[in-house]
Amino acid sequence: MIILRIEHKVENFDGWKKVFDSDPINRKQSGVRRYRICRPTDDQNQVIVDLEFDGIDKAEAAFGELRKVWSRVEGKVMFNPQVRIVEIAESKEY
């Protein structure tokens, strides 16, 4: 499983969430299998989003689409996005 991990600041989480929920890249069509939104307990204006994909090609294509969206909203809804594409090496549930 490939994860496109995005971290950035938001000024207002509810406003950011509205934009996220509008799904400007059509996550399902882009190959996203699931997503997870996290917020550090000590900084509620930081958002971490994990988008899970079956393959790296879909993750890279989605990243390209996200850059287009960010060019319109960075500095308004979110700030300074940091992105990594990672592969799950191991996972275990208890």
* CATH of residue 32: 3.30.70.100
**How many domains does the chain divide into?**
1
Q: Residue 89 and residue 44: Cα distance in Å, rounded?
A: 29
Q: Is residue 90 included in any domain, yes or no?
A: no
Phi and psi dihedrals of 28, rounded to 5?
-60, -50
Query: What pTM does this model have?
Result: 0.92
Q: Is residue 70 included in any domain, yes or no?
A: yes
Domain membership of residue 35 as a residue range: 2-85
Q: Is residue 94 included in any domain, yes or no?
A: no
Q: Is residue 91 included in any domain, yes or no?
A: no
Could you report the per-residue pLDDT of 31-87, keeping only the tens digit for each? 999 999 999 999 999 999 999 999 999 999 999 999 999 998 888 889 999 999 999
